């Protein structure tokens, strides 16, 4: 049983969903290629509910942003994402970090832009997945767990 002090010291991490393979839903467990055709893109709160037992010792705060394939994310989205992170950090100083789930096609561009435009005390980790969370061999839960460990 946790003591009240232990519960009060739980890390609070904002998890921002931008879409990408992380948010996609395969039509069956071996749908590693045409999963975008299913048309199902999960918002971040649904993803955290599905993958929720990854970090029972953390307080995860879902922050919706977009649900896009990452090839559709560009400079206007980067500006808005950076502003969202700054606003969220200012509004909730109890947050100890940020994790951004992102498609892998433009993940590095988004991470680079955030690195250039954010000057926060909290870490910001951008992570992606090669396979949707509901398919065999998905790396989504392991990648999210690793991002949350930072």
22-36, 72-86, 102-116, 136-150 — which is least confidently predicted?
22-36
pTM here is: 0.84
Q: Which residue has the higher pLDDT, 147 or 71?
A: 147
For 32-41, write each residue's pLDDT tens digit.
Answer: 566 666 656 6
The stretch 105-131 carries a mean pLDDT of 93
Total domain count, the chain: 1
Q: Highest mean pLDDT range out of 1-5, 19-23, 95-99?
A: 95-99
Question: Alpha-carbon dihedral of residues 106, 108, 114, 115, nearest 10 degrees?
Answer: -170
CATH code of 67's domain: 3.40.50.1170
Q: Which domain holds residue 35?
A: 4-149
Q: Show which residues are catalytic.
A: 21
* Model pLDDT, residue 105: 86
């Amino acid at each position: 049983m946790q003591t009240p002090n232990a519960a009060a010291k739980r890390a609070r991490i904002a998890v921002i969903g931008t879409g990408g393979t992380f948010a996609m839903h395969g039509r069956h467990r071996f749908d590693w290629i045409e999963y975008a055709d299913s048309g199902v893109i999960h918002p971040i709160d649904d993803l955290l509910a599905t993958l929720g037992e990854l970090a029972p010792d953390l307080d995860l705060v879902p922050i919706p942003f977009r649900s896009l394939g990452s090839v559709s994310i560009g400079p206007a989205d980067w500006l808005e994402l950076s502003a969202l992170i700054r606003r969220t950090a200012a509004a909730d100083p109890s947050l100890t970090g940020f994790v951004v789930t992102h498609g892998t096609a433009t993940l590095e561009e988004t991470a680079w832009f955030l690195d250039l435009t954010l000057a926060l005390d909290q870490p910001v980790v951008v992570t992606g997945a090669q396979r949707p969370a509901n398919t065999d061999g998905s790396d989504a839960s392991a990648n999210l767990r690793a991002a949350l460990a930072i």
